[in-house]
Amino acid sequence: MPDLLSHAFIAFTICTLLSLRYDWLSGEYVTVGMAGAFIPDMAKIKLLVDAATVEAALDIPFDWLGVHTLGGALVAVLVGVVVVNRSDRRRVFGLLSLGAASHLFADALLLKASGRSYEVLWPLTQYHPPTPGLYLSTDIWLTGVTGSVAVAAYLLVQYRA
């Protein structure tokens, strides 16, 4: 799954570069940002648990795509914030949100046959924004590019330190 690794590299790069500005942004917090980048892909649980099963268990309409939107990601971020120490909640909220936002933004650039992205801003709007179609989620080259940029960011931060 090259796109998942690319999302991790993008979040790592962003958080690592931010660590130049914020002294508190250590390796542990960079990892939190990377974890945030995985949040929207929790929708892939649908491969194991069908939406109809969840719908029957909860007795409410359900679709896994909702997790892969702004609203679903925000709910998952809030769950993540609740499970950490009170003193870390603001930082964890910001970093999980940053990681999830970077994932949603990168996915909004995917090549789609319709020329339109998915409902990325749901529940605010059901609008499907146009996508520039820069790459496919299966493109291996993207992992190489994002990985190279991540290594460069890491070396830059190590050189500055």
Claim: this prediction has a pTM higher than 0.85: yes
Residue labelled with tokens 């949040």:
39
Task: List the pLDDT tens digit at each of the 161 positions of the chain.
Answer: 468 999 999 999 999 999 999 999 999 999 999 999 999 999 889 999 999 999 999 999 988 888 899 999 999 999 999 999 999 999 999 999 999 999 999 999 999 999 999 889 888 889 999 999 999 988 999 999 999 999 999 999 999 87
Q: What are phi and psi of 84, to 5 degrees?
A: -110, 170
Specify whether the CB–CB gap between 4 and 38 falls below 8 A: yes
Neighbours of 21 (CB within 10 A): 7
- Count H helices, E strands: the chain? 6, 0
